[in-house]
Amino acid sequence: MIIFDHVSKVYPNGTVGLDDVSLRIEDGEFVAIIGRSGAGKSTLLRAVNRMHQITSGSLTVNGTDVTGLSGKPLRKFRRGIGMVFQSFNLVTRTSVIKNVLSACVPDMPFWRVLLGAFRKEDKIRALESLDKVGILDKAYMRADQLSGGQQQRVALARTLTQNPHIILADEPVAALDPVTAKQVMEDFVHINQELGISILLNIHHVELALEYADRIIGIRAGKIVYDGPSKQVDQAVLDTIYGEDIASEAAV
Amino acid sequence: MNEKIQKAYASAPKTWLWQLLAAFCVACLLAWSGSAVRVSNPTGNGLEVAGNILSGIFHPSAKLLFTLGTDGVPYLLLETFCIAFLGTIVGAVISLPLSFLSASNLVPKAVALVGRVLIAAIRTIPAFVYGLMFIRVTGPGPFAGLLTMSLCSIGMVSKMFIESIEDLDKRILESLDAAGCTTFQKIRYGILPQLTADFTSTIIYRFDMNLRDATVLGLVGAGGIGAPLIFAMSSYRWNEVGAILLGLIVLVLIIEWISAKIRVKLARG
Amino acid sequence: MSLYDRIFRPRRYRLSDGTVVEEKRSRAPLVILILVVLTAVSVRITGFNFSVLVKKGSKFFDILKAMFPPNTAYLGKIWQPLLDTIKMSFLGSFIGAVLAIPFAIAAASNIVTNRVVVFLVRLFLSLVRTLPTLVCALIATYIFGLGTMAGTCAIAVFTFAYVGKQLFEIIETVDMGPYEAMEALGATKLRAFVTAVFPQVLPTYLSVSLFCLEGNVRYASILGYVGAGGLGLIMNEKIGWREYDSLGMILIVLFVTVMIIEAVSHALRKRLT
């Protein structure tokens, strides 16, 4: 459960990232955050695992107050939250399995990290994660030999290996072609429904958001302007989120 | 556990075997090399010497540092600068034909190979041997030094020239051909613009290196700041060593800064 | 507008549609002027004299001629110093390259956010780089005594400065995405660096170190001249006794060794990238 309570974020240069945001996301929800670029989608997402520091208000994740976290407790907290990025953020010149195994790095003795000597049970876990996203056969290939969609699946497998209860996805399909984007979105649905992991993603393809997410959060200039089931999103809602002219374009 | 997973686990390529082998080889080489290191200390007190050197560098001889005569640091630095400068230019001029003759995309493979072996041979002879050879021609002094520098520059400069030449974009020549250019025009407008930036960058980089390496010339009396430095060191006048080193460090840092600026400008156009 | 543009005003062209295009004056005259002045000064100071070169140039080949035919009988006495030179360069390169790692990390502005630390470490690397290797070797002979230890030390210092500079530049061009991902999943900075940045820089790092090793074998032969062991020691001796045919043999052996090491290292570097 994620609770935002009057959260604001002002960047050092004066830009307002979030403006008095209050929200509640229950366990097991599939939430998509939509809005124009620069509206604060990414800031909202990254506040959850404290990749961005909020300036005021309070943010609680599963009973832990995120604002006060730093050092070891912060790292322990982040272990429970997976994150997937627009640019996949894989080490492209090493093998797929090594990339997935890097999720185990925080729990390993340092000499094992240095030598890259992973334990058998970790390897099995990594292979199982790869199997869940359907690319077990690619385990020993170099990551840069995979297509974009497959690379994003590797990133997903890496996240699953952490055993997270929440997955944050920052524009996960923006770098993919439409067909692959749909496949990756289906992966998210599958993970959400079968593993019961909450998914919070920001996305600028409105139609993908409406098709796959249960709940939509619309954000504009750092403020939440819509929060409700995706079925109730209509043209009027999109107009408030995007401004009229752009919304009609985006909805096509 | 799932059978599919088991199979995938078992099929892992054994890269660690290779890594282990490589690590073993390096360890063996290291152990073998380690046998060469014998500490034989005739003066008995290395730390004291190190302390003297440090204190000398921090208390440089002001007299030497600010004398404007031919034995003061400023003049020696100027001389070193001139040796390195002219040496680099002469070296670059010699390297130019040599590298065109050794570029495998311009001349037959056999010719290129001969050129490369020649360049490698020129590189092998150490600077002090060249210095001795040139002293027979010019007598001791900076003239011999600059000739030595130029021969020493040839190896690296032509190696990098060859790389630039082999990276040439030949499609431009095609388009110039299509526009009806003569061979001379093709070289002037198709090849030179591509090479000048790279070549200048190489030459400036080598100049930078020559300035550092110019101390070697002092060993054989071929001019520059090396000889006074080595004399001062062998007679334990550490504050003179300090003064000379300080001057050299400042000069090299300034030149490095300028050359880095110019090279960045060349690279970005 | 720079000073140069203010003195030599840009040329203005009016196109047929009325737009005015400014073309800055070429810098070439200024560059040529500087080069001519520097060359003139250098010629004066170094005593460059073309006629001497033409008249007595043939004397350059005196020693070269005396080297041939090389004294093959001397071959047996070359092996020991040759092996010393190789050992010295290998050990020195290894120590220098390993020592360079922590300094390169501390000098990389994308890993260390403290600007003061980055500046100080870079200044240190620059200062070490300005120290001529020969001077380093000389100082080392005072501290460790004559012999290969001093040579190893000088080579380690040189390699340290060279690899250190190259490595921090490589680290700065690395893709920081995986590093961010590692931090997001709860790894410390150190662990994130080891898992996300290290694999990216490792091939280039090894390649740079091998390249340095190639050059060091050549360089190690000079160091012997100041008593730091290896081939330079016997070269100095042979020059002193004017046994140029033995010197020729040493140079041929050095040439072949350097070629072999370059070939091996070139092949290794090709596999790395």
Asked if A85 and C181 come within 8 Å (Cβ–Cβ), the reply is: yes
Q: What is the pLDDT of residues C235-259, one digit of tens each?
A: 888 888 888 889 899 989 988 998 8
**A236 near B CB under 8 A:** no
DSSP B183-249: HHHHIIIIIHHHHHHHHHHHHHHHHHHHHHHGGGGGGGT-SSSHHHHHHHHHTT-HHHHHHHHHHHH
DSSP A188-214: HHHHHHHH--EEEEE-S-HHHHHHH-S
Q: How would you label A89-112 residue by residue, b for 16+ Cβ within 10 Å and e otherwise? A: bbbbebbbbbbbbbbbbbebeeee
**B12 near A CB under 8 A:** yes
Q: Is the pLDDT of residue A230 over 80?
A: yes
DSSP A136-196: GGGTTSBGGGS-HHHHHHHHHHHHHHT--SEEEEESTTTTS-HHHHHHHHHHHHHHHHHH-
Q: Is the pLDDT of residue C163 over 90?
A: yes
Q: Is the pLDDT of residue B264 over 80?
A: yes
Q: What is the pLDDT of residues B49-63, one digit of tens each?
A: 778 878 887 888 777
Residues C157 and C210 in one domain: yes
A190 contact partners, CB below 8 Å, separation of at least 6: none
**A193 near C CB under 8 A:** no
The number of domains in chain B is 1
Q: Higher pLDDT residue, B114 or C135?
A: B114
Per the structure, the complete domain to which residue C44 belongs is given by: 3-48
Neighbours of chain C (3+ CB pairs under 8 A): A, B
Residues C143 and C245 in one domain: yes
Sheet-wide strand order for A56-61? A16-25, A2-10, A56-61, A64-65
A252 pLDDT band, cuts 50/70/90, is: very low
What's the CATH code of the domain at B111?
A: 1.10.3720.10
Range C90-94 average pLDDT? 92
The number of domains in chain C is 2
Are the CB atoms for A184 and A135 separated by under 8 Å?
no
C63 contact partners, CB below 8 Å, separation of at least 6: B129, B132, B133, B136, C244, C247
Q: Is the pLDDT of residue C77 over 50?
A: yes
Note which residues in 200-229 of chain B have CB less than 8 A from chain C: 212-216, 219, 223, 226, 229
B92 pLDDT band, cuts 50/70/90, is: very high
Residues C162 and C265 in one domain: yes
Q: Is residue B159 part of a domain?
A: yes
Q: Is the pLDDT of residue B39 over 80?
A: no
End-to-end CA distance of chain B: 60
Q: What is the pLDDT of residues C220-236, one digit of tens each?
A: 878 887 777 788 888 88
Are the CB atoms for C250 and C241 separated by under 8 Å?
no
Percent of chain B residues past pLDDT 70, beyond the cut: 95
CATH code for the part of the protein at A1-79+212-252: 3.40.50.300
Q: Measured between beta carbons, which residues in chain A are less than 8 angstroms from residue C196?
A: 91, 102
Among C46, C49, C90, whose Cβ lies nearest the Cβ of B83? C46
Q: Is residue C58 part of a domain?
A: no
What's the CATH code of the domain at C132?
A: 1.10.3720.10
Range C31-35 average pLDDT? 89
Q: What is the pLDDT of residues A151-186, one digit of tens each?
A: 999 999 999 999 899 999 998 988 888 888 998 999
Among B1, B11, B16, whose Cβ lies nearest the Cβ of A124? B1
Q: Measured between beta carbons, which residues in chain A are less than 8 angstroms from residue B23?
A: none
Are the CB atoms for A191 and A163 separated by under 8 Å?
no
B9 contact partners, CB below 8 Å, separation of at least 6: A120, A123, A124, A127
Residues C42 and C71 in one domain: no
Q: What is the pLDDT of residues A88-127, one digit of tens each?
A: 899 988 899 999 999 998 888 999 988 888 888 899 999 9
B259 pLDDT band, cuts 50/70/90, is: confident
Range B182-200 average pLDDT? 84
Range B126-140 average pLDDT? 86
Q: What are phi and psi of B92, to 5 degrees?
A: -65, -40
Residue found by looking up tokens 């390195």 in the block = B84
Q: What are phi and psi of A200, to 5 degrees?
A: -125, 110
What's the pLDDT score for residue C242? 86
Asked if B142 and C46 come within 8 Å (Cβ–Cβ), the reply is: yes
Distance CA B244, CA C94 (A): 30
Q: Measured between beta carbons, which residues in chain C are less than 8 angstroms from residue B141?
A: 46-47
Residues C120 and C181 in one domain: yes
C91 pLDDT band, cuts 50/70/90, is: very high
Neighbours of chain B (3+ CB pairs under 8 A): A, C
B41 pLDDT band, cuts 50/70/90, is: low
What's the pLDDT score for residue C96? 95
**B51 near C CB under 8 A:** no
Residues C147 and C248 in one domain: yes
What's the pLDDT score for residue A245? 60
C171 pLDDT band, cuts 50/70/90, is: very high
C162, C95, C129: which is closest to B36 by C-alpha?
Answer: C95
Q: Is the pLDDT of residue B43 over 60?
A: no
Range C257-273 average pLDDT? 85
End-to-end CA distance of chain C: 44
Distance CA C71, CA C80 (A): 17
Range A57-84 average pLDDT? 88
Q: Higher pLDDT residue, B165 or C25?
A: B165
Q: Is the pLDDT of residue A250 over 70?
A: no
Q: What is the pLDDT of residues C204-220, one digit of tens each?
A: 999 899 989 988 888 88
Q: Is the pLDDT of residue C100 over 70?
A: yes
B266 pLDDT band, cuts 50/70/90, is: confident
Q: What is the pLDDT of residues A47-58, one digit of tens each?
A: 898 888 888 888
Q: Is residue B186 part of a domain?
A: yes
What's the pLDDT score for residue B169? 79
Asked if C258 and B226 come within 8 Å (Cβ–Cβ), the reply is: no
Distance CA C68, CA C262 (A): 25
